[in-house]
Structure 1
Amino acid sequence: MLHNSVVMVLIILVVNIIYVSFSTTRMILTLKGYRYIAAFVSMIEVVIYIIGLGLVLDNLNQIQNIIAYAVGYGIGVMAGMKIEEKLALGYITVNVITTTGELNLAKSLRDEGYGVTTWDAHGREGDRTALQVLTPRKYELKLYQQIKTLDPKAFIIAYEPKTIYGGFWVKAVKRGKLHQ
């Protein structure tokens, strides 16, 4: 079966897609602090890597195998990124600058379960309200939609906090109270 070149190319392609997807997922798990899960994923990853690389090295004289390996690697990166998007591990902090004071953006977001801190800000063109919103990453896109619906001209900047400590909101999220 492995002597059929089309089958060999497909096997190498699929093995490398799986390997790189595992590799990307492991890296993200490591960065997010999931050490033990990352270690387990890395054990599976290395077995898949050895199998895929072994197939290519055993058949190095066939250029289609090398191309399949490279294409599988690229597709694997894309697949790994999609997996990471679906996992949506961790939190996101969103800074919002709004010029529309009469919209009670902070209250609306708090009513939805988001942690919101506000303060007065002063921009080049006048007074503003600044909001800092903390949410699990799985609610990130929903948060953007809510902000844009309430204030289409809001200025939004998002980033991932490395450390979160204290506050009532984090405890509520860990107990699963957000968006129930």
Structure 2
Amino acid sequence: MLENGFVMIGIILLINVVYVSFFTIRMILTLKNQRYLAALISVFEVIIYVIGLGLVLDNLDKIQNLIAYALGYGLGVLVGMKIEEKLALGYITVNVITTNISAGLPNEIRSKGYGVTDWMASGREGQRLMMEILTSRKSESNLYETVRALDPKAFIISHEPKAFHGGFWVKSIRR
């Protein structure tokens, strides 16, 4: 089966897509402090890597195998990113700044189940309502849609918090 050039290219391509996808997921789990799951995935990652690299090194005389390896690597990055996007691990903090001060936006957003801290801020052109909202990454796009529906001109920026202590969300996270 491995004597067929197209089969060899397909196997090398597939192995590298799987390897790099595992690599991407392991890196993300490491960054999310999921060390034991990351370690478990790394075991399979290395096995797949050695098999794929071995196939290429045993057949270095065929440039198509090296090209398949490189293409598989690139595709693996894309597949790994898509998998991570679907897993949407962790939480994000979303800051919303609006000029729509009297519209009751914080309570509207709270009614959708989000925790909102709000305060008045000063911008270049006057008073602004500033809101800080913590949500799971799985709910991120729904939050953006909610905010845009309430104020299409709102300024929205997000970042990923590293740790939590106290407050509305800590009780929910520990459950």
Q: CA RMSD in A?
A: 0.8
Equivalence for 2:165? 165
Equivalence for 2:4? 4
Q: What's the TM-score, normalizing by structure 1?
A: 0.95
Contact 1:103 1:151 in 2 (8 A): no
After TM superposition, list the pairs within 5 Å mapping 1:1-180 onto structure 2: 1-175=1-175
Contact 1:96 1:132 in 2 (8 A): yes
Structure 1 stretch 105-114 or stretch 46-55: which is displaced more? Answer: 105-114
Measure how far apart 1:173 and its partner are. 4.2
CA–CA distance in structure 2, aligned partners of residues 128 and 168 of structure 1: 24
Q: What's the TM-score, normalizing by structure 2?
A: 0.98
CA–CA distance in structure 1, aligned partners of residues 173 and 149 of structure 2: 24
Superposed CA deviations along residues 9-35 of structure 1, whole A, max 9, x for unmatched, are 000000000000000000000000100
Q: Which runs of 5+ in 1 are unaligned?
A: 176-180
CA–CA distance in structure 1, aligned partners of residues 151 and 164 of structure 2: 27
Superposed CA deviations along residues 100-144 of structure 1, whole A, max 9, x for unmatched, are 112211101111111110010011111000000000110001100
CA–CA distance in structure 2, aligned partners of residues 83 and 103 of structure 1: 38
Equivalent position SS for 1:116? strand
Equivalent position SS for 2:101? coil
